[in-house]
Each structure stands twice: as structure tokens, then as C-alpha cells.
Structure 1
Amino acid sequence: MRLGITMFATDRTMPPHELARAAEERGFASLFLPEHTHIPVARTTPPPTGDATLPEEYARTLDPLVALAAAASVTDRIGLGTGVCLPAQREPIVTAKAVATLDHLSDGRFTLGIGYGWNVEEAAHHGVPWPSRRDVVREHMLAMRELWAREEAAFAGEHVRFAASWAWPKPAGRIPVLIGGAAGPTLFAHVAEYGDGWMPIGGAGIGAALPALRAACDRAGRPMAAVVPFGTLPSPAKLDHYAGLGVAEVVLRVPAGDRDAVLPVLDEYATAYLPEWAGQRIIGKQSQVGKR
């Protein structure tokens, strides 16, 4: 079972390219970064964290594609992903180009984790009607899939339209798309239609949801989607549980802090969890990957 890392990267945290290099040296499989374009000052949407006040880090988030490009330039093996990108708030032709470029330059190491968003006011500033945001995400993703896959791509939908067009570079291969959100028939139908996996935030309730996800994939005539618990605070029991469910990758959360706050947690995770669950032997700050 692979173990990855996520951090709420901001202009005040450990730089993501340094975190990527440190995570790769220790043997972690991936680094995922979140996205918020901005946070409207006047907001009635409650924080998703349950806090009375939205943490400042939400307003200071780095652009994940730019940050991951920097991470790609100083690493060789670690997977790079968004957790999560907000496609409803992005123009799909430009985003398809940026994603394909990042995947091309990183030799196929990119994974696109996406979500529907939670901040009504943020989406409104992008012209996204809140009730239709899932439909907007779906069309944006289907249109980007066309641009990535076809020599001459065209799309005609309610929210996206473009005539036959050339768009290079193409990705190094099929870009994995993981869809974040709570379990439910709409989410699982979207995973089965245009995604490759489900990214449950925190990872609670996965076991009970697997039959519904499998059924959605069966109806679409697709293999069972991957399940990647995201933002997990690890414990031996929790990781054993995921391994028993057949989960292939878990993304662990490190604090949104500077090097002094992040590196000790990274070292703790590497020492406590990589040898057992990722089949790796830690040697100082390096790792040797081997079969368990």
C-alpha cells in the first residue's frame, strides 16, 4: 500500500518543491496540493472545517499546478497531484493545456484530484451557479478528456463548446482523475463515467460505501475504481483497515507549517509507517523500496 503526503501549501509554509524533495527522499509515493483561487471577504458559507472562523491558510493557498511544476523540476520519482483542484472554477481549454504540460514535463507523474467545491461565494465570482456546479465539473472534465486524447478535439455541451481543434502537448498517458466528495449515487456515477477513482476526504465510511461504488462501475462497464483516502491522520489500526479493504494508496496529512513544523512529522510518518505499509526500509533520510 503506497503512502503519499498532502499539505495545505501557502506562501508561509514550507515551499512545496522542498517538501516534494524531502518526501521523495524518505520514500513517500506522492505529494498532493489543494486549490482555492481566492476567498471572498463577505461570505455566508460556513467553513467546511467546522470552525467558527475559516483558517487563514484558505486565502493564502498557492496555485497547485504552478507549485507542482516546481516540485517536478527537483524530483524524479514521486507522484504529483491536486487534492483537490476545482474544475468548475477553471476555463477547461486553458486547464487542459496546463495539466497536459505538467504531465508531459514530469514524465507522466501527475494525478488530477478534483472536487465540486464548498464555497458558494468563491464559485459565484467565477460565474458558476451553485446548483449546476456538478454539471459544470462534468462537462469541463469530459471536454478536457477530449483535448488530451484526440488529435482533433471538439466538444458541444451546455457549458463548454469548441470546434475541432489541435492541442498539444498530449499527456504522457491517461491522466488519472480522482474525484473527492462524500459517498453517494451522483458522485459514484461521475467516478464511473469520467474518473478513475474516489478520493474520500479523511477516509471514514469507506467500507460501507464500496458496494455502491462497485455497482456504479459495473453499470458503466468499467473496472472497480481506485479508492484513495485523503488527508488522513494515520494510526496503525486505520492503515491496517485500509489495507484490508484493498486500498492501494493513502494520502497522509502533514501540518501547514514551516520546515521546523513539517519535517519532524514527515520523519515520524516515515519511521512509523513506511516500513510496514509501504514495504520500505528507511536508511537515514533515504529509502530502499522493496517487496514485503
Structure 2
Amino acid sequence: MRIGLALPTFGPEAGPEAIAGVSRAAEEMGYDSLWSGDRVLAPATPSVPYPGEDGVMPRAYENHLDPLVALTFAAAHTTRVRLGTSTLNGLWLPPLMLARSLTTLDLLSAGRLDVGLGLGWMPEEYTAVGVPWKGRGARLDETLDILRGYWTSDVYAHDGPLFTIPETKVGLKPHQRPGPPVLLAAFTPRGLRRIGRRLDGWLPAAMPLPNLLGMWATVVREAEAAERDPAALRMALRVNVGLTDTGTGPDEVPRRGTLQQYIDYARAAAEAGVHELFVDFGQRTTTLDESTDLAGRFLTGVRAG
């Protein structure tokens, strides 16, 4: 199982020194990937509760870097680790602009990009960027069509329900062919169906492993129904760490627990067949130095198993 680490793109310490330092340290430690998230607003009282245990959005989100710019900066300070978005709200940009940005990052990083898309959870952010909240699924499907078409065509045009792209020659090509892998964060039956039938993988959030594997089985069934090879799909599991000083009950992991309990959870995930797991130590009040130390101890513990 590959092990990844979330970049410090949120919170008071997010900045060039933090991105460069964590990127280099993670690659030297032996991490396989680095990940960045996406926010444009931090309202005091969003209309929809944050999809976490207490429904409260982490204060770290009040300071948010652009995820693709941050990954480009990380790419310049590393040579090996893959670079992923978890998640990029892919509907906030016109699809052609999104295709150009993703292609550029994949090219500049020599083919290290994993595109993790999500639909977000906060209607206010859609209002702020001028994109309708309703109809997100249809907008996502057309966006995926445009990404694939742009990446695989020398001459491309699109005329769809939402977007029209006049015919153009496409000279900009991603390093990875036919394009960087595209994964989706989704948990509804429709979302899991979409993953199995047309995407490269799934970006779940940490949950009890029986629940995770049950949802993954849906993805596999949908891939088989679409005559796709499920073995070609991958799962990259995000773990937002809620550290405690003393051990918690099994029903509380992975929402909270000691570092050893998170190590044990990662080992169990590997045994269960999870392809990649990445951890975020920075969503609460942990300092950058503490997060880096925890990252080193976590990776050592998982790899020692």
C-alpha cells in the first residue's frame, strides 16, 4: 500500500516555506505522495454542516492556498512523489480552463499528477464562484467528457448542454497518456456507480473498514457491469487524524485515537486491499513541526508492520 501525506495548504502556517519544507521532508522520509485540498470560503455559519463528526468546519480552512498552485510549487521541490488533489472542486472552473491547468501541472511535474475531484458540500462556495449548486452531477459528467476529449484529441470541439468549445488544435498534452488518473470523492449509490463506470478510482474518507469495503464492492460491480477491468481501479483513502493522548474504543477509530491506533488502522487497511492511504495531521491545532514529527513516526510505524 502506498502512503501519502497532506500538504500544509490550510491554516496559519500555510505558505512557501511550509510547502517546500514538508514536500522535501516527505520525499526524504519515503512517502509516496503529497495531497492538497480545496476551499474558497470559510463562513462562520455555513448553511450546511461540515461533513465531519461534530459538523464544525476546521478553523484551518479560514486560510486556504490554491491547491493546483501549491502542488506546482511542491513539484518544483521534489522529484519522485506523486501529487494529488483531495479534493479539487472541479466544477468551479470552466472545463477547458480546468483541462489546461491540470495538463500544465502534469507536464511540469513529469507525469506525477493524480486528479482527485469532488463536488464539495457548501452551497455558499458555489454562489461565490457563480456556479449553480443544482445539477452538479450533470455538470460533472460533461466536465469529465471535456477533460478526456481535450487530453486525447489533436483537434477538439465540444457542443454540450452546458458548454460549447469551438474547434481548436490541441498542442498542449499531458505527460501521462491518455491523461492523468481521475479519481472521485463520492459516497452515494449514483456517485459510486459513476466511479465504476467511467473514472480511474475512488477517494473515500476514513471509515470503519467493513463499511469501506462494502462501498468498494459497489464500485467493482459497476465496473464489471460496464465491462471495465476493476483491477485497473484504485482507492486512495484520506485519513483526517484526530489524535488523543489515550487509547479510544474500537468504535471511535478512525475518527479519533492515538498515533498507534492510526498506525494499526493503516496496517489493517493495507491487509484489506486498500491501494493508498494518506494522512492529514494539520486540520486542527497541530504545529508544523509537530505535524512533521508525527508524519515521520506514522510512516515508520506503518512500514515496520
Q: Into which bin does the TM-score normalised by the smaller protein fall?
A: 0.7 to 0.9
Given candidates 254, 260, 268, the residue that maps to 2:297 is 268
> Structure 1 residues 203 and 197, CA, compared in 2 at 3 Å: closer, same or farther?
farther
Match of 1:231 in 2: 239
Given candidates 197, 203, 206, the residue that maps to 1:202 is 206
Asked if structure 2 preserves the Cα contact closer than 8 Å seen for 1:12 and 1:258, the reply is no
Match of 2:26 in 1: 23
1:59-101 Cα shifts (integer Å, max 9, x gaps): 3111010000000001000000100000111121111111101
Deviates more, 1:198-207 or 1:255-264: 255-264
The correspondence of residues 1-292 of structure 1 with structure 2, limited to 5 A, is: 1-7=1-7, 9-10=9-10, 12-13=12-13, 15-40=18-43, 43-51=46-54, 53-173=56-176, 174-182=179-187, 184-204=188-208, 205-224=211-230, 225-231=233-239, 233=241, 235-256=262-283, 257-276=286-305
> Structure 1 residues 54 and 237, CA, compared in 2 at 3 Å: closer, same or farther?
closer
Q: Distance in 2 between matches of 1:236 and 1:55?
A: 23
Asked if structure 2 preserves the Cα contact closer than 8 Å seen for 1:2 and 1:248, the reply is yes
Asked if structure 1 preserves the Cα contact closer than 8 Å seen for 2:9 and 2:19, the reply is yes
Q: TM-score, normalised by structure 1?
A: 0.87
Structure 1 gaps, min length 5: 277-292
Asked if structure 1 preserves the Cα contact closer than 8 Å seen for 2:84 and 2:116, the reply is yes
Asked if structure 2 preserves the Cα contact closer than 8 Å seen for 1:113 and 1:199, the reply is yes
Deviates more, 1:216-225 or 1:54-63: 54-63
SS in 1 for 2:111: coil
Aligned-pair identity in percent equals 27
Higher relative contact order (CA 8 A, sep 6+): 1
> Structure 1 residues 203 and 7, CA, compared in 2 at 3 Å: closer, same or farther?
farther
SS in 2 for 1:88: coil
Match of 2:258 in 1: none
Letter in 2 for 1:252: V
Asked if structure 1 preserves the Cα contact closer than 8 Å seen for 2:7 and 2:36, the reply is yes
Number of positions where the alignment pairs a residue of Structure 1 with one of Structure 2: 275
Q: CA deviation at 1:17?
A: 2.6
SS in 2 for 1:148: helix
Deviates more, 1:45-54 or 1:144-153: 45-54
User: Alignment RMSD, CA only?
Assistant: 2.0
Q: CA deviation at 1:132?
A: 0.8
Asked if structure 2 preserves the Cα contact closer than 8 Å seen for 1:203 and 1:230, the reply is no
Match of 1:287 in 2: none
Q: Distance in 2 between matches of 1:17 and 1:169?
A: 27
Structure 2 gaps, min length 5: 242-260
Letter in 2 for 1:57: A
Q: Distance in 2 between matches of 1:261 and 1:18?
A: 13
> Structure 1 residues 149 and 86, CA, compared in 2 at 3 Å: closer, same or farther?
same
Q: Distance in 2 between matches of 1:111 and 1:11?
A: 23
Deviates more, 1:159-168 or 1:92-101: 159-168
SS in 2 for 1:227: strand
SS in 2 for 1:235: helix
Q: TM-score, normalised by structure 2?
A: 0.83
1:208-235 Cα shifts (integer Å, max 9, x gaps): 2232111110122211121111125463
